[in-house]
Amino acid sequence: MSAKDKLLLAARDCLLTKGYAHTTVRDLVAASGANQASINYHFGSKEQLLTRALRDLNTEWGELLFAVLEEPDGTRSGPGDQEALWGRIIESIQANRSLWFVNFESVASARRDEEIRGMIAGGQELARTSLARAFARLEPDSDPDEVQAAGSHYLALLVGLAAQWLTDPERAPTAQQFAAANRSPGHRR
């Protein structure tokens, strides 16, 4: 494995265990076995290395989410399957806590990094389309305003649900509770 690949793997591991803000050059050198100069040689800076690894992790997170939105047999969920969908999302949050935390932390990093902000915006657009399809039965070629509205609605629900499961899993809503609340009168389906 090349020094560049070792650095990327080390950055990935450090992001998952320490987070973006707490990963130091020393951590990256220790985890990769590479020397400090190789970080600048291959990536330009510690921040650029971490951003590259963050992009890869956000892609991985998106792939996990998109897989969760499909039925286990690869088909789409039916209109009454919101409880099953939320259940699979909750299971994904529990099984991939570090990856979900990295995704949340990347939002904080977006404040100072245009590349991260653009990466997140692109990922959110894909998520909105997938969520609109899974929950509201809207195809990507449906009315763009409807896809945007429904996808944004479900993305907000997803982010709120994930925040609860990451920070207070003992009191976070179950899939059954979450789906029931979304079926209540006057609430968007």
Q: In this structure, is residue 139 part of a structural domain?
A: yes
**What would the pLDDT profile of 43-67 be if each residue is shown by its tens digit?**
999 999 999 999 999 999 999 999 9
| Percent of all residues in the chain with a pLDDT value above 70, rounded to a whole number | 92
pLDDT in tens, 3-42: 999 999 999 999 999 998 899 999 999 999 999 999 999 9
The stretch 168-184 carries a mean pLDDT of: 90
Helix 144-167 to helix 97-109 angle, to the nearest 10 degrees? Answer: 110
Residue 171 domain-assigned (yes or no): yes
Determine, yes or no, domain membership for 101: yes
Which range (55-59, 81-85, 107-111) has the least confidence?
A: 107-111
**Which CATH number characterizes residue 84's domain?**
1.10.357
Distances from the Cα of 173 to the Cα of 16, 127, 168, 169, 189, angstroms: 25, 22, 10, 8, 18
Domain of 160, in residue numbers = 50-183
Split at pLDDT 50, 70, 90, the class of 189 is very low
pLDDT of amino acid 89? 96
Q: What is the dihedral of CA 79, 122, 61, 182, to 10 degrees?
A: -30
Kindly report the length of the chain: 189
In 3D, which of 59, 55, 63 has the Cα closest to residue 116?
55
Domain count, the chain: 1
Residue showing tokens 């990935």:
12
Q: Is residue 33 part of a domain?
A: no
Structural domain includes residue 29: no
| ∠ CA 128-132-97, rounded to 5° | 55
